[in-house]
Structure 1
Amino acid sequence: MSTPVVARFGSGGAEPWADALRGAAVSLELVPTASAQRGERLDVQRWTTGADATDRAVLHGLASPLLDIGSGPGRMIRAAIAAGLDAYGVDADAAAVRAARAAGLPVLDADVFDALPLTGEWSSLLLLDGNIGIGGDVPALLARCAELLRDGGALVVETDPDPARDEVAEYRVRASHGGESDPFPWSRVGRRALLRAAREFVVERVWETEGRSFVRLRITRSGGAAAR
């Protein structure tokens, strides 16, 4: 399957996401391009430091090999390896890949829709930190995850804390110094929208903790009713 994403999160323009990954002292916002709506702060500090207890709890019950989609600088890869999992990341952002590899973490420099190793054989996938929004097409991204997973494999998705949220729009990443990325398509979905789109999966668990919301899905090609 090859459905390349033309514009990526935070890339182009002033490259604010790359600046943050290089350690620049900036705060970032996700800003809609076609609206006067205020931007939403991005939790760069959490993404660029070690995994916290909530992150580590996400890994409970997952099996190897594990792929973190949109892995950024690699905190979840490091946490998964520390938990005894055979874990990798994939990210299309060159700055993120450089940061992760500089830390000795195994990250594929690719878009999730590119040809990837172990397609159909991954036991676990992660879509955290809003990465369910990649490409602005949740059904396409979920279908790609179903392709990547082995039968019985698990996908953990972090959803928007608002369970009713269901938005697709064009956004920019804006830094506190005013620099902006190029526009890119992105989805913002809460639990309800995700469950509507996840028809190929069985819903295994739904939970909230520390202001964050998660859903664990499992692919069962042999069939089975989803608990919704």
Structure 2
Amino acid sequence: MIDPLELYETGLCTGSGAMETATGARWALPIRAWSSEPDDGDRGLLDRCLGPTLDVGCGPGRLTADLGRRGTPALGVDISAVAVALTRARGGTALRRDVFGRMLGEHRWRHVLLADGNVGIGGDPIRMLWRCRDLLDPGGSVLLDVEPPGTGLRAGSVRLVDGERTSAWFAWAWLGADALTSVAAAAGLGVRALWQVTGASGPRWQAELEPSDRWPCR
């Protein structure tokens, strides 16, 4: 069985690839969009990055590099060596790291960025948001893309597909705007803002979360 990371890295190099659910639903990964320059949809997140920013799952680094050009300290992290190399090649700073492992700047990031659905990494958005909250400084925020209202919170097994090649199954999740408040609260965060923008790939829902005054039990 092929490691998902292998097919992910192949897709970053070729610009192709798809994700498939256990029910057979399949859609193309927007790798070319990830590899292009930021569009109007991305700026909905980038314009709110006003201090040191950690770009989780940075991919080929369009957001990390753009923040650097703006003069905003930014670090991209990704489990893929190819993604890190691509980010560095476009002028961004990046490290090969798992966000759930030891991270530079623990508790000192002004913003943590979860673009392109990366809140779904690991199949548990509450766990992901807890981790992001732990990385923030006291006045920091999490900036993220979410799915449209009506999606709710869904989790399941997916795999990557490249032609006739398929990867092993791995956990992924989708967090809709309608489920954001409850999921954020379970991770000790409140919704500061929720908005819709339109980019090259169409409408996107985005949000900014901040640590809440009332902490739930973990």
Q: What's the TM-score once normalised by structure 1's chain length?
A: 0.84
The corresponding residue for 1:12 is: 3
The corresponding residue for 2:70 is: 83
Alignment of 1:30 onto 2:19: yes
Which segment drifts farther, 115-124 or 56-65? 56-65
The corresponding residue for 1:186 is: 172
Cα offsets for 1:171-211 (capped at 9, x unmatched): 00112x22222211000111122221111122111111221
Q: Distance in 1 between matches of 2:196 and 2:5?
A: 35
Instruction: Find 1:206's aligned residue among 161, 181, 194.
Output: 194
Assess if the C-alpha contact under 8 Å between 1:132 and 1:141 holds in 2.
yes
Q: 1:163 to 1:67 in 2, by over 3 A?
A: farther
Paired letter, 2:26? G
Instruction: Find 1:146's aligned residue among 90, 114, 133.
Output: 133
Flag structure 2 segments of 5+ consecutive residues without an equivalent.
Answer: none
Matches within 5 A, 1:73-112: 73-112=60-99
Alignment of 1:127 onto 2:119: no
What displacement does 1:65 show?
A: 0.8
Paired letter, 1:125? V
The corresponding residue for 1:5 is: none
Instruction: Give the helix-richer structure, 1 or 2.
Output: 2
What displacement does 1:83 show?
A: 2.3
Assess if the C-alpha contact under 8 Å between 2:120 and 2:173 holds in 1.
yes
Flag structure 1 segments of 5+ consecutive residues without an equivalent.
Answer: 1-10
Cα offsets for 1:15-53 (capped at 9, x unmatched): 33212212x253x221113x2x32122211111111112
RMSD, matched Cα: 2.0
Which segment drifts farther, 93-102 or 64-73? 93-102
Identity in percent = 30
Alignment of 1:116 onto 2:103: yes
Paired letter, 2:3? G
What displacement does 1:57 show?
A: 2.8
Q: What's the TM-score once normalised by structure 2's chain length?
A: 0.88
What displacement does 1:54 show?
A: 1.6
What displacement does 1:102 show?
A: 3.0
Cα offsets for 1:128-172 (capped at 9, x unmatched): 111000110111111101100011101111011244332111100
Cα offsets for 1:45-93 (capped at 9, x unmatched): 1111111122123122322210100001100011112222111111112
What displacement does 1:98 show?
A: 2.1
